[in-house]
Structure 1
């Protein structure tokens, strides 16, 4: 997503609290809506951290100030603008310091170059609260600039040691690093995505030094890091749906490149997320009809429908003829276990887990949110009614302390589309187990 510049949009600007606590009409769960008006809110993607290091603020994308990011205080509902000058791609909240990092297109840069910018959130929040705001450069530091030929952009991710930022590189740059004779992958699936080559670069955010990490013959998507293991990168082969091999892992020096979970042709793997020091959760989708059964098309493929992945052109993967559900793979042992699956419907789709390894969570096509006790295998419906007509999916992400889950929701929206930032608690009885 590209966010442009906005004249007069001052970093540190404050907005009135919109915080509301709403009871889920089906489950009774008390939902804390940190925003509740139709202002183009959306959470950071589920692969990334959502909370500041002090545990008090969540940062999100919003249309309140065109092209700028916002922070909301979880307890008070205070809203503060945390960027000035726009951003592009992923917002990265540091876990060890009160810092925010992102990429930016700047008018002063050559076409194709991007800045990586650091925001001092502690200083910004203090000055915003006291009403003593200073010019943006007091809070924002340019860590470095990518050269035009690199083709940098997309899913930036902050390393576990928080000294490096990884980002996608363009086709021309990636091609320079591939071995002669490497077969370049063509587009895959009806969305005509996934063609290579692509790759990953890295910037030292202290010095601005840039290095190459890895090049691959397919389209790189959803770059993320292991917050507990410096130099460990997880990414995907992005096709917009089913991939020939979705999940990948590599080290910061380019070594150790391999499929994270080697998938079969009949498996539809998606939405991987690092959840603990040694584990990555992902969904093995069970959203399509089994060929030859009621509801399947005459050619044996799933019938086209309103929900993603139903087009016959994706083939016959994603059915429940084989095991499906919320899967968790151990990076070290390479063993995979399925933590749970919905009894019907699309199955679990976007997934997350608590860093202590106790819980997992996932949504489905109907925007229901489920919680799984990984020790007992028990699964419960946490919240529903978040409207399949919403502008986006709810994309659950666990908090660092494992006590709550952030989602984005259209439950309060009169137009049934605009979304708000919402926090869902893990039930007290489950936390006491």
Structure 2
């Protein structure tokens, strides 16, 4: 009888694991929500996930909340290869994809829809066709709660399939009017659209990245038609859009560190290509994010020692491992001999100003801002989070202790209403690496301040 009981238990466990491994879209998972007081600042942190399940937030260039502001969508290994949503109030977790996804998850701001890419065929072949998939979140959440789930094609539909020869993949961004998506194309296709005799850029920096050509294409979500947008002679990274200005694209020259010219913008028709912030050789510009209709926030890093100021350590070789940019091969940029900090550039006027910087350490690194123009936020190498009042330039430490050994960085993103910030955190992890989805509230005292009559 004991052996039989053991077999029954093992069989039940196996069935449970198989169900999790191949769970249906709409499958629900129990709440893991916890409120933890930051031991340094006293801020109450809302952990929407708290178990070691391979969680990770969407990159800070993209929207995190559903259009009804009730759910956050995130990456997870609860069901390998599938995305999850967590209800901010109840903590309920729901699987929102089935069949896998690749690249960036795109949450619509004006409709309860989710968009993503899915490679078809052999995943090892970089030139395979890619599907653009739409998920009807409203229908999915309703049926999931009611326990009336149907087949995946009830909630997911293919908007179109890219031609295999263009090598589509990588980052994807949803346009502000939610009618198109933009994505990278492969070198061969990008080269076809470059002007004759265009000089291709070589790799830049010790990570051997940055060489061109590369390109951006778009797909009409109604017709599935694909058009080429732009080709450039360098490696393209972090494609994003302006949610308030359809057809306005921001992307970067990706090198894995300092770029010769990091931030670029172009229109959907391929016109208007230009550096959004023309940078100097001594500036280490990184982690741009569109924050308002007219503005992009970015970091001008101040993380490296000034040559000759530390006789015990060679300049540029102070730190290694967890954080980038300390290798002397990156050149002279990233020191505080020149102004550094969280910078904001205006699309229309092209004016740039710095709203804040930490007095020491790496300086602000990944940045975001509230869409009403009131606040900015940034993390640093220690994974601490700083809030900035853009009107007064006051800066406060919101939370720390999120562990520099974490599998990734906090990547802060403001909620649409500007009252809270989402990060990913290893504060609760036993292995000091696994991350969870965490909400950091903007202090009520700051929210009660008189809002500006117009944006800075």
TM-score (norm 2): 0.92
- Which residue of 2 is the match for residue 94 of structure 1? 108
Paired residues for 1:251-400 under 5 Å? 251-294=267-310, 297-298=313-314, 300-306=315-321, 307-400=323-416
Paired residues for 1:44-193 under 5 Å? 44-107=58-121, 112-193=128-209
- Please state whether the residue corresponding to 2:376 is helix, strand or coil: strand
Q: What whole-Å deviation, never above 9, does each CA across 1:238-273 have from its counterpart, x for those lacking one?
A: 000000000000000000000000000000000000
Structure 2 CA distance for aligned equivalents of residues 108 and 234 of structure 1: 31
- Could you list the structure 1 runs, at least 4 aligned residues long, displaced by more than 6 angstroms after superposition: none
Residue 305 of structure 1: how far off its partner (Å): 2.1
Residue 316 of structure 1: how far off its partner (Å): 1.5
Residue 285 of structure 1: how far off its partner (Å): 0.2
- Equivalent pair of 1:279/1:329 in contact (CA under 8 Å): yes
- Which residue of 2 is the match for residue 41 of structure 1? 55
Q: Does 1:214 align with 2:230?
A: yes
Q: Does 1:227 align with 2:243?
A: yes
Residue 232 of structure 1: how far off its partner (Å): 0.1
Residue 86 of structure 1: how far off its partner (Å): 0.2
Give structure 1 stretches of 5+ with no counterpart: 1-5
Rg (Cα) greater in structure: 2
Report the number of matched residues: 427
- Which residue of 2 is the match for residue 237 of structure 1? 253
- Equivalent pair of 2:121/2:128 in contact (CA under 8 Å): no
- Equivalent pair of 2:47/2:439 in contact (CA under 8 Å): yes
Q: What whole-Å deviation, never above 9, does each CA across 1:71-122 have from its counterpart, x for those lacking one?
A: 0000000000000000000000000000000000123999511000000000
Indicate how the Cα distance of structure 1 residues 301 and 391 shifts in structure 2: closer, same or farther if over 3 A, else same: closer
- Which residue of 2 is the match for residue 3 of structure 1? none
- Please state whether the residue corresponding to 1:167 is helix, strand or coil: strand
- Equivalent pair of 2:21/2:80 in contact (CA under 8 Å): no
- Equivalent pair of 1:291/1:297 in contact (CA under 8 Å): no
- Which residue of 1 is the match for residue 425 of structure 2? 409
- Equivalent pair of 1:289/1:296 in contact (CA under 8 Å): no
TM-score (norm 1): 0.97
- Equivalent pair of 1:52/1:98 in contact (CA under 8 Å): yes
- Equivalent pair of 2:108/2:178 in contact (CA under 8 Å): yes
Structure 2 CA distance for aligned equivalents of residues 155 and 370 of structure 1: 27
Residue 61 of structure 1: how far off its partner (Å): 0.1
- Please state whether the residue corresponding to 1:166 is helix, strand or coil: strand
Equivalent of 1:202 in 210, 215, 218: 218
Q: What is the RMSD computed on CA atoms of the aligned residues? A: 1.3
Structure 2 CA distance for aligned equivalents of residues 234 and 325 of structure 1: 20
Structure 1 CA distance for aligned equivalents of residues 122 and 259 of structure 2: 38
Structure 2 CA distance for aligned equivalents of residues 209 and 413 of structure 1: 45
- Which residue of 1 is the match for residue 442 of structure 2? 426
Structure 2 CA distance for aligned equivalents of residues 122 and 106 of structure 1: 26
